[in-house]
Amino acid sequence: MESYVEKLTVPVQELNALAVKNIEELTALQLKTIQENATVGVETIKSATAISDLEGLQSFLTAQADVAKQIAEGILANARTVAEMSQGYATNAKEIAETSLKAVK
């Protein structure tokens, strides 16, 4: 009886561990993104307050186009990362489920 209960609880524990790992990775990605965006925001404010003439404004606007491009690239990279994490989670969860079904039979 104990081994049967063990066969049922082990997959649940494995799925919980997988979920926690996934949450940790997503949280780390979110915190990294928040930090990067905060840094960009502060640097943008610093640059904007340093504008003193038309040439400075033109330089600022040119730099902002580059910043927007970098942010867009970061968003795409994060989307890829999340997609890979989701795929890995689904694959691992499926493996755990299949293994537990074989063990119960």
* pLDDT, position 65: 96
For residue 90, give its domain range: 2-104
- C-alpha–C-alpha distance, residues 71 and 37, integer Å: 8
* pLDDT, position 93: 96
- C-alpha–C-alpha distance, residues 88 and 76, integer Å: 18
Q: Per-residue pLDDT tens for 38-87?
A: 999 999 999 999 999 999 999 999 999 999 999 999 999 999 999 999 99
CB of 90 within 8 A of CB of 19? no
CA–chain centroid gap for 69, Å, is 19
How many domains does the chain fold into?
Answer: 1
* pLDDT, position 8: 80
For residue 1, pLDDT beyond 60: no
Q: Per-residue pLDDT tens for 5-42?
A: 787 889 999 999 999 999 999 999 999 999 999 999 99
- C-alpha–C-alpha distance, residues 63 and 69, integer Å: 10
